[in-house]
Structure 1
Amino acid sequence: MPPLSIACVTETYPPEVNGVALTVAQVVEGLRAQGHRVDLVRPWQPADADRPVAADECLRPGWPIPRYAELRMGSPNPLPLLARWRARRPDVVHIATEGPLGWAALQAARRLGLPVCSDFRTNFHQYGAHYGLGWLAGPIEAYLRRFHNRCGRTLVPTEAMRQTLAARGFQRVEVVGRGIDTQRFAPGHRSEALRAAWGVAPHERVMACVGRLAPEKNLDTVLRAYEAARRAQPGLRLLLVGDGPLRPALRARCPDALFAGTQHGEALAAHYASADLFVFASLTETYGNVVPEALASGLPVVAYGQAAAAELVVSGRNGRLAAPGDATAFIDAVIQVLGDEAGRQAMADAARRSVEARGWGTVVARIARLLAEEAGPAVGPRRPAGSLGATLPG
């Protein structure tokens, strides 16, 4: 495949810590490693104050997202992108997030007649229910549908997500999957010294959950499962890796839990591998990168049967699944896994094997092929230049 010139637009990128930022970085770095030129467009971050801006970066003004102060929304102004892409026209625009900056990129690309691919990465319309904004779910979903249907195609991580979006009127949706760094996340990173620092004896078990400590992660179910399992295993410990607005309330409710805060790189890998079971009760994920990370680290996973868990976890083999929203079944699954040590160990061995072949190279190559197809003849009729602004909010 000839090298592509790709403009990649994202509202979040490392050093910000979240699944979207880390996944987009894997794709950008992977495309560059495969010889493609990627011009990265993202909001300015405080960490940028101490470093020069690279020629292949376009930093736009950004503002903190309410209740997510560590994340930023980009400017909705399309004019700088129009000027940048007129000066150096990309073959294709890849929009990773659907926020104000993504909208500006879509508007600019359509005015210039540039082909566009988008990612559907975050269920914004579902998050509102956890912040008293459930009444906005309909308008937000309508916006997302209009946004993505104005792109040549929309990329999603699972077949279940493709079917869900198609049933809601989203068009030209394609599955690309997600990769996992099996070198970074591996059982070999288990640290007895770290477990000793947690105050955990060799025979005691650690139940881990990694992610933002926020309402949309459904941590009440995690704590209920821990409390129920601990009645049978008094030495069980709960490890929460991450930070967020619920931390004070969670600490007050469960003072004996291990609050590790946000972890990165080798430290994050060690926290995964030093646990014995991974639990994930979120019902708002489009994928959930923590699931394959836990499996690669050799942890059985208990989760609801949706998103990444539905694709990767086989009940009784490398973890257990509960029907989405069935908290009783979720809690019972945790108790079952922790109550059978031989079975838990067999699941741990199978967990690693179940994701060993899911490297990022294959996923990035598929994304590059889809972008190349979009960069060729236009798919479907294009709306007249300038018409987008009348249909999407400015």
Structure 2
Amino acid sequence: MPTSNSLEIAFVTETFPPEINGVAMTVGRLVGGLRERGHRVRVIRPRQGRGDIGGEHELALPGLPLPGYAGLRFGLPAGGRLHREWKRLRPDLVHVVTEGPLGWSAVNVARRIGIPVTSGFHTNFDRYSVHYGLGWMRPAVAAYLRTLHRRTLATMVPTAALAADLAGEGLNGVRVVGRGVDTRLFDPRRRDMALRAEWGGGADVPVCLYVGRLAPEKNLNLVERSFAAIRLQHPRAVMVWVGDGPSARQLAIDHPDHHFAGMRTGADLAAHYASADLFLFPSLTETYGNVVAEAMASGLPVLAYRSAAAAELIVDGDNGRLVAPGDGEAYIRIAGEMAMSAEKWPRMGVAARASMHAHRWSSVVERFETVVREAMC
């Protein structure tokens, strides 16, 4: 229920559930958590398909498909519409989640009519450009992103390392808010032996897992090579891929013996995590990487680069293994070493699960509220 201390917040985002990606999930959790705490939150986003008129407390605006990201859209400039909306129903705060044209419009309008505006840094789009043959655009994309965030009162990021990076680039007002994980959903008790049997993974056959977008920026070649190293020790080992994207078709052609599960959500996704034994995640383009936390909450040791969420959540040798960022040969070598001592994986998985209990979404929502109240003072 709204209280005298509740806020009217406009969340401006290019992606929102039921779209499936880390940003949409995070925004959905924040919006839901803020509403539970009595705040009135209105979501402003692009239409997600023909006939989409938005839900309760949502404003759906025109958008276009995002190149290379099937199923996602970016919002078009909407300065006039936002100006009219916020003159009619003025929010206490505008929070801009994504940096597309809709986000720029929101920052411009909020500043022009004197509404406090904050932002979130969720995606390293400048790093993504390298993987799509547009590396020459990286400096311009980075400058675009930093310029938008410099015009807001606070920029919220998921990790201390990212905060330090952005502060080092001259971005003021960076605040660490973090990310949470649903430990009730992602739980080792969802392990499904029938699902493992479908994959060909018995009690003595290790199952390796990747969850995420199947796309060049995720460094999937290293998953392939690392699993090959694991198979040298365990020839019957199983590789399961959960997700979709532009690389899916070629991966399936190259590895007809791997299992491609496609997109999974909710309890089905949780069962896929819990039914595996080791999570392979070599991406270097993440600002966080929700899947790392989800895998650990599900009781899986994770092999990852010392970057983003992995750098903050994994204690090397205890609940997973870490590799110096970018050292692909070391990543493959450690995958092989882990395969030679697979009997340690269950113990590491128990430690991974235990380490996630402190990462509640409620704490993240509380931190978000604290940051926006400080920014408004």
Query: Does TM, scored on the shorter chain, surpass 0.5?
Result: yes
Cα deviation, residue 55, structure 1: 4.4
TM-score scaled by structure 1?
A: 0.93
In 1, are the aligned partners of 2:288 and 2:308 still within 8 Å (CA)?
yes
How is 1:281-292 mapped onto 2 (pairs within 5 angstroms)?
281-292=282-293
CA distances 1:6-42 after superposition (whole Å, capped 9, x unpaired): 0001000111111001001000000001100001001
- Matched residues, number: 374
TM-score scaled by structure 2?
A: 0.97
- Determine the structure 1 residue equivalent to 2:265: 264
CA distances 1:99-125 after superposition (whole Å, capped 9, x unpaired): 111111111111111111100110000
Counterpart residue identity of residue 4, structure 1 = L
Q: Secondary structure at the match of 1:49?
A: coil
- Determine the structure 2 residue equivalent to 1:13: 16
- Determine the structure 2 residue equivalent to 1:43: 46
Q: How many angstroms apart in 2 are the aligned matches of 1:204 and 1:88?
A: 59
In 2, are the aligned partners of 1:4 and 1:372 still within 8 Å (CA)?
no
- Determine the structure 2 residue equivalent to 1:349: 350
How is 1:179-218 mapped onto 2 (pairs within 5 angstroms)?
179-218=180-219
Counterpart residue identity of residue 183, structure 1 = R
Q: How many angstroms apart in 2 are the aligned matches of 1:239 and 1:339?
A: 20
Q: How many angstroms apart in 1 are the aligned matches of 2:340 and 2:238?
A: 14
In 2, are the aligned partners of 1:73 and 1:100 still within 8 Å (CA)?
yes
Q: Secondary structure at the match of 1:63?
A: strand
Q: How many angstroms apart in 1 are the aligned matches of 2:292 and 2:327?
A: 19
Deviates more, 1:144-153 or 1:338-347: 338-347
Question: Which residue, out of 14, 22, 25, partners 2:25?
Answer: 22
Counterpart residue identity of residue 110, structure 1 = R
- Determine the structure 1 residue equivalent to 2:316: 315
In 1, are the aligned partners of 2:70 and 2:245 still within 8 Å (CA)?
no
- Determine the structure 2 residue equivalent to 1:148: 149
Q: Given the alignment of the two structures, is residue 358 of structure 1 paired with residue 359 of structure 2, yes or no?
A: yes
Q: Secondary structure at the match of 1:240?
A: strand
Q: How many angstroms apart in 2 are the aligned matches of 1:256 and 1:289?
A: 27
Q: How many angstroms apart in 1 are the aligned matches of 2:78 and 2:365?
A: 30
- Determine the structure 2 residue equivalent to 1:246: 247
Q: How many angstroms apart in 2 are the aligned matches of 1:40 and 1:345?
A: 42
Q: How many angstroms apart in 1 are the aligned matches of 2:113 and 2:18?
A: 31
In 1, are the aligned partners of 2:47 and 2:54 still within 8 Å (CA)?
no
Q: How many angstroms apart in 1 are the aligned matches of 2:354 and 2:335?
A: 21
Counterpart residue identity of residue 375, structure 2 = E
- Determine the structure 1 residue equivalent to 2:37: 34
- Determine the structure 2 residue equivalent to 1:99: 100
In 1, are the aligned partners of 2:210 and 2:241 still within 8 Å (CA)?
yes
Q: How many angstroms apart in 2 are the aligned matches of 1:53 and 1:242?
A: 26
Counterpart residue identity of residue 60, structure 1 = L
In 2, are the aligned partners of 1:92 and 1:374 still within 8 Å (CA)?
no
Counterpart residue identity of residue 270, structure 1 = A
How large is the RMSD of aligned CA atoms in angstroms?
A: 1.2
Counterpart residue identity of residue 10, structure 1 = T
- Determine the structure 2 residue equivalent to 1:391: none
5+ residue gaps, structure 1, are 377-394
Deviates more, 1:339-348 or 1:229-238: 339-348
Counterpart residue identity of residue 49, structure 1 = G
Q: How many angstroms apart in 2 are the aligned matches of 1:192 and 1:344?
A: 17
Cα deviation, residue 261, structure 1: 0.2
In 2, are the aligned partners of 1:40 and 1:56 still within 8 Å (CA)?
yes
How is 1:128-147 mapped onto 2 (pairs within 5 angstroms)?
128-147=129-148
CA distances 1:307-343 after superposition (whole Å, capped 9, x unpaired): 0000000110000000001011111222222221332
CA distances 1:180-218 after superposition (whole Å, capped 9, x unpaired): 100010101100011111122221010001001100000
CA distances 1:70-116 after superposition (whole Å, capped 9, x unpaired): 10010112111111111011001011111111111111111111111
